[in-house]
Chains A and B, each alone.
Chain A
């Protein structure tokens, strides 16, 4: 199975900050990575697919990059609504696997 390891597990930041979340795959997965945002009590929301393509309707403050084993999600100019938990996921092979999540909190 392909393991997806996110870092950090939690992150404190202030409104207006720029933050980066990292996801490392246990083997090369080309660009078959998606990123999701989840707020408490809500379903996850798709942000990015193909490592760097923004889903329709997602603001450009979100960006993704990477290929192979190392991937990043960057959020610029944090706003109160961006504080949530973020997950990466690989979809190149079964079982589909998610990272453990990164909780982004307000400092």
Chain B
């Protein structure tokens, strides 16, 4: 059974940093692009970043470029999102998903940026 489990969310002050993790199981992690998608409270879905199977290609939404870094560790079946210079508008539930068609989603982790 495919499982994606996010962790690392929480309350952080504006300008602060946070690192999200996503533990994958039930499939060959190294064979898939992996993606972060977020959803602000009461809002729609927003794509954040993609990473290729071997980590050689990373693509970011303009809204996070230069502040967020997506990475992965295929030996640990894990996906990460390092978030720096956080802003109030980054407040959202962050989901990790498998592939550009997002065929599987984690349960999400809430990031709240507030003073």
Given contacts A49-B101, A95-B61, contact A101 B108 (CB under 8 A): no
A15 to B68, CA, bound (A): 44
Instruction: Fill in one digit per residue for A14-48: 1 if any B CB lies within 8 Å of its CB, else 0.
Output: 00000000000000000000101000001111100
Shortest CB-to-CB span from B62 to chain A, Å, is: 7
The chain A residue with its CB closest to the CB of B103 is A46
Contact B47 A43 (CB under 8 A): no
Main secondary structure of the interface of B (DSSP, over half): loop
Which of B47, B50, B106 neighbours the largest number of chain A CB atoms within 10 Å of its CB? Answer: B47
Complex: chain A residue closest to B93, CB-CB? A43
Contact assessment for B45 and A44 in the assembled complex, using a CB-CB cutoff below 8 Å: yes
Given A43-B95, A44-B95; A100-B105 close (CB under 8 Å): no
Q: Which of B80-103 contact A (CB under 8 A)?
A: 95, 100-103
A13 interfacial by beta-carbon distance below 8 Å: no
Centre residue among B44, B47, B59, B102 by max chain A CB count within 10 A? B102
Given contacts A96-B47, A98-B46, A101-B44, contact A46 B102 (CB under 8 A): yes
CA–CA, A46 to B105, complex, Å? 8
* Known contacts A43-B95, A43-B107, A95-B62; A36 and B44 CB within 8 A of each other: no
Q: List 11 A-B contacts (CB under 8 A).
A: A36-B45, A45-B105, A46-B104, A46-B105, A87-B44, A91-B101, A96-B50, A97-B47, A98-B44, A98-B46, A101-B45
